[in-house]
Structure 1
Amino acid sequence: MGQRTRRAGRDEINLIEGGKNYGWPVVTYGTDYGGGKIGEGITAKAGMEQPLYYWNPSIAPSGLAFVGKNPYRSDWQGNLLAGSLKFGYLARLKLDNTRVLSEEKIEVGERVRDVLQAPDGFVYVLTDSGNGKLLKLLPQ
């Protein structure tokens, strides 16, 4: 069997466009779990795209949802939600087309396995524990 690369950090979001090179594993913000470099150990190279956003250290993202029309504050519309298995929160990324303006961490207290916006407009979060929960986010 071949050697498997284990990495820490550099979970990223890319704005995918045809014909562009997103660099893995040549460019990365992550490191091997043992602390060594991945690939050339560089974060940028001509002809390779930078991520729209990345987490370092890794949040172990799980589930990803764009928020459309919803019963929450209007500033949630168009945001991106990502669950964190590692830290037990839901990341709300406020977007401005091709930029992430800010990240809000919504504490869940358990590993987040999945997140989605249902047809009723509400956001539901599925946790990953012995007694996993299905949580419905309600507006404040």
Structure 2
Amino acid sequence: MNATVSPPWTYTLQLPHDPRAPGIARATLRAVMETYGLGELTPAAELLAGELLTNAHCHTNGPYALRLRSSSPEGVRVAVWDSDPQVPPGFEPRRGGGPPPSGLAEGGRGLHLVRACADRYGAQLGAGAGKLMWAEVTPASPWRGA
């Protein structure tokens, strides 16, 4: 007998440049995670989404979007698209992410959290404009049990 396998899924939520948009997106994320039985990953996915959404809201003037996608094994990819084609310094995986921001820095902690908490992360430049920043979390994430 073969076990029932859920087909791959993707949800995209278009968001206006509104200070309430990140909260609406996180509520949507929680509903999607619950629907697919991924409750144990919800706190990590919500943290990743919150940081990526806040980055998009604070550093762009236009709309942005949250994309949730099933990933393997039994994980989720959280991605945020925005219209700014610049990938924030230190977010590229090949650079190793760089050191955490100093205690006096006004910004930079959010993406450091994403790098520290995600199983994998990255950024893709759009064909026309903008970028997609993403992070994945799975049940095997080493930091979740801490």
TM-score normalised by length of structure 1: 0.27
Q: In proportion to residue count, which structure has more helix?
A: 2
Q: In proportion to residue count, which structure has more strand?
A: 1
Which gives a bigger RCO, structure 1 or 2 (Cα 8 Å, sep 6+)?
Answer: 2
Name which one, 1 or 2, has greater alpha-carbon Rg: 1
TM-score normalised by length of structure 2: 0.27
